[in-house]
Amino acid sequence: MLYWHFLDLTGVLDQHLTLLTDMKHEQISNTDVNNPPKEKVSATKRFSDDEQSGIREIGGISAKEQLRRFSAEHSMELFNKFQESLFPLLKQREINGDESAGRRYTVLNILDSGEITDTKRVTEATANAVERCITKSEKGDLVGFLKQQRGQEMLKIVNGELFSVIRTPQKDGTIKETLRPVKSDRRQVLERLSEIRAKTMPGIIKSLAMTYDVPVEALPFREGELNLKLMDTSHTIKSEVAFSALATIIGFDEIPPTVLKMDSHDLASLQLGVTGQPLDPKKYMELCEVKSKGDEQNSLARLACLDYLGKSSDRHPNNIRYDDETGHYFGIDNGYSLGLSEKNSDQSASSTHGMKRVPIDKYLSLPLEIVEQNPTINLSEKDRAKLKQVWDDIKTYLAYRKGALDKEEIDALPDAVKNGVAAHAIGDIFRFLHERVDENNKVIPDTKKIAKQEADDFIAKLYEISQTGRPSNLGKSLHRFDPVIRKMMERKKVAAGVR
């Protein structure tokens, strides 16, 4: 229950966390506020609706296509906004002697402004359609990996048959959607998943709407489509970028620098290529039992904390890179993270550690599993100090906004704290993730509520880790353990005579 008490203890954040998403942004007009909310529709109706089928035309393009373009432009605007906050933050840290901040600043600049060349597909056009590329700039060339929104797999059931939705750009800038039968080697698993999704989705959507106190139409799901996780295609791209940005704010390098790109009003993430190999299951077993030391332990602890903060649900061995020369871990392929949560039906501290909301998509993170099983792996004091600094900066900024500081305290504030750089950047990142616009290119107010609640939860968990030096032990109720690793551990227990 630790981190939920911080709101009461500080007094400041309880009243002013709304500043994270509202401060310095356009306020909702009186007209918007006074308009009565749209009638809430049932989750069942949501899946049979055909209102965005593309029949209506606006200026020669369909309403559906216009909305897609508005949405992409809004996402790019918010990305640029929090990116503008990250650059001076990194530069200041470099001035203060943090060399890794200086390197990350340079890499983000190259990825953001460089020219993408020499693209080569490295995976199929499925859930992880990825292209290797070279990003060229005057400051240098970098190897990166490009993941495009149109390559993210969505599933659709038509007349009882399962299809993948394939999106391809057209010369006029639109995106054409075609259906392709799912390959036979994947069909059985995906059909079962889709069957479960179709049956449970209406109830899940109702639960989410109640959790965030929004109508179901404010939730970011497309009619009739089922993703491998409870996220839409734009979220899987944006979470790649957002996860990296949140790691940058904290000062942890385990998530490679990642930026947002846009082509034909379709979003794409561009991530720096990193060294290392996928995590060997044998290495996993050693880490669970052996007291790892130094850089390796520190890096593993940082990645586990990031996965906890980011609600990672896809950190299996292939999405981890381990560099045995430096002892450094990297978390790649972060599309299935930072998803939505629902109210926790079980408030017992033993099973859920007092979380008010729990992820819809359960955690799946090998680093979290390792940390749970090896109590000797904790954040170093240096890394805990980074978390505490972010927390203190936010708390001090909000106290300053409230007028709770005297003149001497105000004069001593660094500009970054006085301007609320960390606070606004976190707020903008979650706006980037969760805000949606309507057909008139106006932000849907209810989606701002989702962004605010998610930002609040992130800061609460950040405070918790700054105090304990490690993420909470999640247990089976919140953690979907990797099946391969589970079988290995069971075999080892049987061989040792432990049942």
* DSSP track, 285-297: HHHHHS---HHHH
Identify the helix (H) or strand (E) that includes residue 466: helix 445-468
Determine the residue type at 208.
Answer: L
- Give the helix ranges, DSSP H, for 96-133: 99-113
In a domain, 327, yes or no: no
Total structural domains within the chain: 1
pLDDT tens profile 158-197: 777 778 777 777 777 777 888 888 777 667 767 776 776 6
pLDDT band at 126 (very low <50, low <70, confident <90, very high): low
151 pLDDT more than 70: no
Query: pLDDT-derived band of residue 297, with 50, 70 and 90 as boundaries?
Result: confident
What is the 3-state composition of the chain as percent helix, strand, coil, each rounded to the nearest 5?
50, 15, 30
Helix 421-434 to helix 445-468 angle, to the nearest 10 degrees?
A: 130
Q: In the chain, pLDDT over 90 holds for what percent of residues? A: 46
What value does the mean pLDDT take over residues 44-73? 58
> What band does 420 get if pLDDT is binned at 50, 70 and 90?
very high
Residue 479 has what pLDDT? 80
> How far, in Å, CA of 68 to CA of 80, rounded?
19
Q: Residue 360: its pLDDT value, please?
A: 85
Lowest mean pLDDT among 78-87, 345-354, 430-439: 345-354
For the chain, the average pLDDT equals 79
Any idea which of 329-338, 474-483, 486-495 has the lowest mean pLDDT? 486-495
- Per-residue burial over 77-114, b if 16 or more Cβ lie within 10 Å, else e, is ebbebbbebbeebbebbbeeebeebeebbbbbbbbbeb
Among the residue ranges 24-33, 103-112, 129-138, 179-188, the one predicted with the least confidence is 24-33
Q: Which two tokens stand for residue 168?
A: 């391809």
Distance CA 151, CA 145 (A): 13
Domain of residue 126 covers 82-273
Give residue 374's pLDDT: 86
Residue 126 domain-assigned (yes or no)? yes
Judge whether 8 lies within some domain.
Answer: no
Residue 129: pLDDT band by 50, 70, 90 thresholds?
confident
pLDDT surpassing 60 at residue 276? yes
Strands 115-121 and 225-226: unpaired
| 319 within a domain of the structure (yes/no) | no
pLDDT exceeds 60 at position 350: no
Domain assignment of residue 397, yes or no: no
Of the chain, the percentage scoring pLDDT greater than 70 comes to 75
Give domain status of residue 337, yes or no: no
Q: Confirm whether 70 is domain-assigned.
A: no
Prediction pTM value: 0.83
- The position carrying tokens 């179709």 is 198
17 has a pLDDT exceeding 50: no
The verdict on residue 246 lying in a domain is yes
Per the model's pLDDT, the better-predicted residue between 178 and 464 turns out to be 464
